[in-house]
């Protein structure tokens, strides 16, 4: 994957870890046992629930979401994107908004309700987008979409659904489109909070390459097929 830090008023080097969380699994997931109560086997659960089971009580499944194949596969094919800076945002009942950040990084822009006239979205929601100062290109065709970061942190907005079919020739800006309720409210989004999850059409491990190149004093950084390969690497 190639990416650009397009804001030339700031440092010409950006750490990939400033906008990507390399481990897609949240801490609570790592510590969660596959079975309720921290049990390690179904036999343990049966022993504890034996009397209730024989008395006809419905004891339910002993499994936690750790055994859910859908969530597990989601983590394998997703990459959390984090805010690079603190953002202060205020929305108003008329659909207008104000925002401020005292550091360079993610900015906030608007999509006019006229672009989706006649929908419930245009009536009840404010369409904003978090603009990362990044352009990116994959070295092979891949489909991606942005997903809700709810497994990492609960946010007051809804991620706009959509699928982006990327090729190895089209360079895209990294923009996360979101919907806020059309109401008077104030929000603070903190640096390193997960903004959205970038979901891939294949496991992220297939995108990892060992080689890594980052050239100082140029605005283009060649990450040789994948941002996943850069964790812990020196910029030189």
What pLDDT, in 10s, does the model give residues 105-154?
Answer: 889 999 998 888 999 999 999 999 999 877 776 667 788 889 999 999 99
pLDDT band at 42 (very low <50, low <70, confident <90, very high): low
Q: Is residue 208 predicted with pLDDT exceeding 60?
A: no
Which residue, 70, 23, 79, is CA-closest to 197? 79
pLDDT band at 166 (very low <50, low <70, confident <90, very high): confident
Q: Distance between CA atoms of 195 and 191, rounded to whole angstroms?
A: 9
Select from 3.40.50, 1.10.3470, 2.70.40, 2.40.50 the CATH code of 2-27+74-230.
2.70.40
Cross-strand bridge partners of residue 144: 164, 200
Mean pLDDT of 196-216: 56
49 DSSP 8-state letter = H
Give per-residue pLDDT as tens, 53-100: 666 666 566 778 888 888 988 888 888 999 989 999 999 999 999 999
Pair of tokens at residue 47 = 């022993």
- For 181, counting Cβ atoms within 10 Å of its Cβ (0-12 exposed, 13-18 middle, 19+ buried), the class is middle
**Where on the phi/psi map is residue 190: left (φ > 0), alpha (ψ -120 to 50), or beta?**
beta
Q: Is residue 224 predicted with pLDDT exceeding 90?
A: no
Instruction: Parse the chain into domains and list their residue ranges.
Output: 2-27+74-230, 28-72
Q: Is residue 211 predicted with pLDDT exceeding 50?
A: no
Would you state the pLDDT for residue 217?
26
* Mean of all residue pLDDT scores within the chain: 75
More confident residue, 236 or 74: 74
């Amino acid at each position: 994957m190639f990416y650009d830090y397009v804001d030339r008023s700031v440092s010409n080097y950006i750490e990939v870890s400033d906008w990507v969380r390399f481990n897609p699994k949240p801490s609570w997931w790592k510590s969660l046992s596959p079975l309720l109560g921290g049990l390690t086997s179904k036999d343990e659960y049966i022993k504890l629930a034996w009397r209730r089971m024989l008395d006809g009580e419905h004891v339910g499944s002993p499994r936690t979401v750790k055994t859910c194949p859908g969530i597990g596969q989601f983590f394998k094919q997703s990459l959390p994107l984090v805010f690079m800076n603190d953002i202060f945002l205020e929305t108003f009942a008329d659909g207008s908004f104000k925002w401020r950040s005292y550091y360079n990084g993610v900015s906030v822009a608007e999509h006019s309700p006229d672009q989706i006239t006649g929908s419930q979205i245009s009536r009840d929601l404010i369409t904003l987008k978090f603009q990362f100062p990044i352009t990116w290109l994959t070295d092979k065709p891949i489909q991606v979409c942005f997903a809700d970061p709810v497994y990492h942190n609960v946010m007051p907005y809804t991620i706009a659904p959509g699928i982006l079919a990327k090729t190895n020739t089209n360079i895209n800006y990294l923009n996360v489109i979101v919907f806020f309720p059309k109401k008077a409210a104030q929000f603070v989004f903190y640096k390193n909070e997960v903004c959205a999850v970038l979901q891939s059409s294949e496991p992220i491990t297939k995108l990892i390459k060992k080689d890594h190149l980052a050239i100082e004093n140029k605005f283009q950084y060649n990450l040789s097929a994948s941002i996943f390969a850069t964790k812990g690497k020196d910029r030189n």
